[in-house]
Structure 1
Amino acid sequence: MSAPEAPYSGLVSLEVRLDGPVAEVTLLGPGKGNAMGPDFWRELPEVFGGLDADPRVRAIVLTGQGKHFSYGLDLPAMMGQWAPLLAGDALAGPRTDFHAVIGRLQAAVSSIAACRKPVIAAVSGWCVGGGVDVITAADIRLAGADAKFSVREVKVAIVADLGSLQRIATIVGEGHARELALTGRDIDAARAERIGLVNDVYPDQETLLAKARELAAEIAANPPLVVQGTKQVLSASTERQIADGLRYVAAWNSAFLPSKDLQEAIQSFLERRAPEFKGE
C-alpha cells in the first residue's frame, strides 16, 4: 500500500493510503481510542471530498488505528465550542453559533455518505457515539469479534445529533434502533451481526482488514460510473428523510441541550463517577 500523497498528506487525525483503486482511511485520534476532536471534524470532509473527486479511487476502507475504531467525540477537546451555550443564560447569539457548530459536524459525517465511492467500515474494538454516526454513514460495515457498539449519547444527556438516529433505523429496523438509542447500552459483534448493523464478523483484526480490502477490491473491479450510480440510487429514497432529521435535531439541541443533567454528565465524566440525573 502506497504512502500518503497530496492531497492526503499533512493530516493529523486521519491517514489515507492508496492500493490501486482502493483507498484506506485510518482514524488516528490523536485523542485516546481515536477520539474525535477538532482536527478530525475539520479533516474528515476534506478527505472524503478529495476521495470523491480522485479518479484513481473506486472504493474506500475506513478503519481505526490500534485496537479500537473510535471512542467517539473527544469531549474535553470539544468543550471550547460548547462552553458559551452551557453557561446557563445562553440567548439567541450563542444558540445560533452552536446550531452552526452542529451543522458543520453533521456535514463532516455526511461527507462519507455523499462520497460517490462506496465506503466499507472495518470495526475493531470500541465504536461509540460519534463512531456509530460515522459507520452508519458508510455503505457496508464489517466487524472483528472483539467489536462493541454503543449509541451512547443518551447516557451523557445528549440527543444524538450527527446522523446515527437518522440512519441506523434504515440499517437495523425501528425496534432495534430505538432500543439502542434509548438505552445507550453496549452490544457485541455477535448481536450487531444478528440485527444487521454489520454484515459479517471475523475472528481478529488482521482477518477483518484483509476481508474488507478484498470486498473493496471486488467492488472496485466493477464499472466505476455504474457503481457510483448504484450507490446514489440506493441512497435516493432515504436522503431527503435523513436531511430533514438532521435539520430537526440540530434545531432541537440548539434549543434544549443546555441542562443541569448535561452539566452533571460532563462533571461526572471528568470526576470518573456515576452521574445523578434529575431531569432538569
Structure 2
Amino acid sequence: MEEQIEGPAFTRNWLAFKVTRAATPGVAVVHLCGPGRGNMMGLAFWAELPELFGALDADDSVRAVVLAGAGKSFSTGLDVQEVLGSWLGKLGPGAQAQAAQRSELHGIIRGLQDSVTSLASCRKPVIAAVHGWCIGGGVDLISAADVRLASQDARFSIREARLAIVADVGSLQRLRGIIGEGQLRELALTAKDIDAQRAEKIGLVNDVFADQEALMAAALAMAGEMAANSPLAVAGTKMVLNEDREENIARGLRHVALWNSSFLHSEDLIEAVTALGEGRPGVFTGK
C-alpha cells in the first residue's frame, strides 16, 4: 500500500493551533493553543486561521473537522493590545488628518473577518466543541462553524459592547440565523455572560455534555458520521446551505467594517482598554 504523504495542515509548526488526526478515519482535530491567556486570539491566530482551514479544505484525506480549545477554555477572545494596540496610538488627541489611519484600521478589520469566514468557506464540515469560556472573538469563530456543542462548564459572551466596540467579525451577522433576532439583540446589547444551559435553550449549541471528555467524544462521533458520507455530497450540501446566508453576511461584514473604521476610536474605547488592564468595570461617557 502506498504511504500517505501528510499535507501542510498536519506537518506545519503552527503557533496558535495544534492539528491532529482522530482515530476516526477522515476526521481532523484542531485545538486552539495560542500563547495568550485562555487561547486569546493574537496576531499569530488571525494570520494562521485562514491558512490552516485552506490547507484542511485542500486535503482530500480530511472529511470533517472538530474545533476545540486546549487548556481551561475554548477562547477568551481577541487580544486587543496585540492586534489593535499599535493602531490605537495613531489616533490620539491632537492627531490631524486621519484618512490613512482609518483606512489601515478598515484593512485590519476586513482581514479579521476573512480569517473567520475561512471556516464557513471550508468545504469540510466544522464542529465546534466548546468548554470553559467562549468570549467575543470566540463566539465569532464558533458562529462560522456548522455545528456547535458544549460541555456543562461552557460560558458564552458577546462582550464587545462592554469594551466599547461594535462586534465586527461575524457574530452579529451569523447568529441571527442561528439563535434568532431577539436572543441576539439581548446578548449583544447587554454583553452578558450565559451558561451552557441557556446556550442550548436558545439554539446557540445543539447539545450539552457533562464534561470535556464527553463533549469531545460526542464531537468526534458526529464528525465520524459526517466523514462516512459522500464527501462530494457533504461539500455540496454545505455550499447550498451557505448560499443565501453568506451573501447577506458578506454585506453585513462590509457595513460593520466601515462603521468601526469610522467610529471605533473613542474615549470610551480608551477607557475600556484602561479598565481592562486595571481589572475594573469601564465607566463610559459616550464620547
Question: Which range, TM-score by smaller chain?
Answer: over 0.9
1:139 to 135, 146, 162: 146
1:195 and 2:213 aligned: no
Other structure's SS at 2:8 match: coil
Deviation of the 1:273 alpha carbon:
1.6
C-alpha distance in 1 between matches for 2:8 and 2:168: 32
Partner of 2:281: 274
Give the drift of 1:243: 0.2
Per-residue CA distance 1:3-22 (angstroms, 9 max, x = gap): x8634321110111123300
Find the aligned partners of 1:137 and 1:112 in 2 and give their Cα distance.
6
Deviation for aligned residue 1:184 = 0.3
Distance 1:188 1:16 in 2: 28
Q: Which residue of 2 aligns with 1:11?
A: 14
Provide structure 1 residue ranges, at least 5 long, that are not aligned to the other structure.
none
Q: 1:32 aligns with which of 17, 32, 37?
A: 37
Q: 2: CA distance between counterparts of 1:112 and 1:189?
A: 23
Change (3 A) 1:7 1:59: closer
- What SS does structure 2 have at the residue aligned with 1:24? strand
The within-5 A match list for 1:7-86 is: 7-8=9-10, 9-19=12-22, 20-86=25-91
CA shift at 1:226, angstroms? 0.2
SS at match of 1:23: strand
1:137-176 equivalent positions in 2, closer than 5 A = 137-176=144-183
* Matched AA of 1:144: S
Q: Does 1:113 align with 2:140?
A: no
Deviation at 1:67, TM superposition (A): 1.6
2:175 is paired with a residue whose SS is: helix
Cα distance in 1 between the residues matched to 2:80 and 2:263? 19
Matching residue's letter, 1:212: A
Q: Is the CA contact (8 Å cut-off) linking 2:53 and 2:119 kept in structure 1?
A: yes
Percent identity for Structure 1 against Structure 2: 56
Provide the C-alpha distance between the structure 1 equivalents of 2:181 and 2:280, rounded to a whole number of angstroms.
Answer: 32
Query: Is the 8 Å Cα contact of residues 31 and 37 (structure 1) preserved in structure 2?
Result: yes
Conserved 8 A contact 2:128-2:149: yes
Shift of 1:85: 4.5
Give yes or no for contact 2:133–2:154 (8 Å, CA) kept in 1: yes
> Are the equivalent residues in 1 in contact too, given 2:9–2:56 (CA < 8 A)?
no
User: Can you list the C-alpha shifts for 1:163-204, whole angstroms capped at 9, x where unaligned?
Assistant: 000001100000000000000000000000000000000000
In structure 2, how many angstroms separate the alpha carbons of the residues matched to 1:33 and 1:259? 27
Question: CA RMSD for the aligned pairs?
Answer: 1.2
Aligned AA (1:65): A
Q: CA contact under 8 A between 1:45 and 1:109: conserved in structure 2? A: yes
User: Alignment partner of 1:162: what SS?
Assistant: coil
Following TM superposition, by how much is the alpha carbon of 1:32 offset from its aligned partner in structure 2, in angstroms?
0.5
When structure 1 is superposed on structure 2, of 79-88 and 212-221 the one drifting more is 79-88
The 8 Å contact of residues 35 and 72 in structure 1, kept in 2 or not, is answered as yes
Checking the alignment, whether the CA contact within 8 Å between 2:68 and 2:130 is kept in structure 1 is: yes
Once residues 82 and 131 of structure 1 are traced to their aligned partners in structure 2, the CA distance between those partners, rounded to angstroms, is: 22
Deviates more, 1:4-13 or 1:229-238: 4-13
Aligned AA for 2:198? R
Question: Residue type matched to 2:81 in 1?
Answer: P
TM-score normalised by L of structure 1: 0.96
Any unmatched runs of 5+ in structure 2? 1-5
Cα pair distance change 1:42/1:222, threshold 3 Å: same
CA contact (8 A) 2:7 2:59 kept: no
Distance 1:85 1:161 in 2: 20
Aligned residue number for residue 3 of structure 2? none
Tell me how far 1:275 sits from its aligned partner. 1.1
- CA distance, structure 1, for counterparts of residue 28 and residue 222 of structure 2: 12
Tell me by how many angstroms 1:143 deviates: 0.2
